[in-house]
Amino acid sequence: MTNMIPRVRKAIFPVGGLGTRFLPATKAMPKEMLPVVDKPLIQYAVEEAQAAGIEEFIFVTGRGKTAIEDHFDRSYELERTLAERGKQAELDAVNRWLPPPGSTAYTRQQEPLGLGHAVWCARDLVGNEPFAVLLADDLILAPKPCLAQMIEAYPEVRGNLIACMDVPKEHARRYGIVDPGRDDGKLIQVRGLVEKPPGDTAPSSIAVIGRYVLEPSVFEHLERGAKGAGGEIQLTDALAAQIGRSPFHGYRFEGKRFDCGDKVGFFEAQIAFALARDDIGAAVRSVLKNYI
Ligand code: G1P
């Protein structure tokens, strides 16, 4: 029995952030509801989790985030009107992807104390089993969704598995950075992990991207509430404390990641996702030609 590989059934979506970089758009609307083309960022993340076999969706929200709960609920009046008008495609667009009843849970991060604290807020909803974390700001365009790639690799490595990407050295201070051991180009042994290393102290330019498959033991460290970079309770620090206790790997995923927490990254995502669409891709391409 000890060799049985536990299934990853639950995912945490930390969605409590204030979204100050997108004011005024985020004054009365959660930043996770900002659309890329016609779909909110948070829906991309939830669909990615569904594609990886996740069955329970745990949102760590905050004040002013109720639009997210509404988005993952039935919309009776809208659905009825669309049905009466025979608008099947639009009906599919509002409900085909809805998680089944009882599979979503919401808890609030009462204070913005950091990503580690947000994840810790979901500890009782996760319980004692491995779980995924998806940061909706990191939008990934890939032939196979990033979390599904990781879940496929997971039985081989187990323990903690974090998505990784090589970044320009001068950008290392924006990310969690891996101190790599063995690296076969895909799987990277994690020897150390540091959140937003200052100056040029980064141990590598391998950055952590917002997809994680984690052991529940990480909650034990988060429980202490120790503050790290930026005075926040960092998930990266709790993960660093796991090194040596269980297997720990980085996973260089296939696909292109867009930083949708940044205006330029968000804009680039609009272009890439629009161009990749069958319905509007060609039209967008011809419009873009007018600007370059
Ligand atoms: C968070 C994590 C960081 C990671 C990044 C990826 O930082 O703390 O380790 O590299 O997401 O997007 P944030 O962007 O929330 O500051």
Does 170 reside within a domain? yes
Residue 210 alpha carbon, nearest atom of ligand 1: 6
Q: Within its chain, how far is the Cα of 143 from the centroid?
A: 17
Q: Which of 115, 162, 232 to mutate to test the pocket of ligand 1 (most atoms within 8 A of CB)?
A: 115
Using CA atoms, how far apart are residues 107 and 77, in angstroms rounded to an integer? 27
Q: Please identify, by atom number, the ligand 1 atom nearest to the C-alpha of residue 195.
A: 9
Tokens read off for 150: 């990781």
- The alpha carbon of 88 and the centre of ligand 1 are apart by a number of angstroms equal to 39
From residue 199, give the alpha-carbon distance in Å to each of 174, 202, 235.
11, 8, 21
DSSP letter assigned to residue 231: G
Residue 239 lies in a domain: yes
Write the residue with the smallest CA distance to atom 10 of ligand 1: 175
Q: Are 158 and 182 in contact (CB under 8 A)?
A: no
Q: Please give the residue range of the domain that contains residue 162.
A: 10-289
138-141/256-259 β-pairing:
antiparallel
Please check whether residue 5 lies inside any domain of the structure.
no
CATH number at residue 29: 3.90.550.10
Amino acid 2: pLDDT: 52
Structure confidence by residue, pLDDT tens digits, 93-104: 999 999 999 999
47 CA to centre of ligand 1 in angstroms: 21
Q: Hey, what amino acid is at 258?
A: F
pTM: 0.96
Residue pair 57/105 in contact by the 8 Å Cβ criterion: yes
H-helix segments, the chain: 41-51, 66-71, 76-84, 88-95, 115-120, 123-126, 146-157, 218-222, 235-240, 263-275, 281-288
In a domain, 2, yes or no: no
Q: Which residues line ligand 1 (CB under 6 A)?
A: 115, 135, 138, 175-176, 195, 207-210, 234-236, 261
The confidence score (pLDDT) of residue 1 equals 45
pLDDT in tens, 145-200: 999 999 999 999 999 999 999 999 999 999 999 999 999 999 999 999 999 999 88
Is residue 259 a part of any domain in this protein? yes
187: in domain:
yes
**Token pair belonging to 242:** 């796991």
User: What pLDDT digit, counting tens, does each position of 205-244 carry?
Assistant: 999 999 999 999 999 999 998 899 999 999 999 999 999 9
From atom 9 of ligand 1, which residue's Cα is the shortest distance away? 176
Task: Please check whether residue 201 lies inside any domain of the structure.
Answer: yes
Mutational test site, ligand 1, from 18, 138, 174, 234, max ligand atoms within 8 Å of CB: 174
Report if residue 208 sits inside a domain. Answer: yes
Q: How many domains does the chain have?
A: 1
Q: Tell me what percent of the residues of the chain surpass a pLDDT of 70.
A: 99
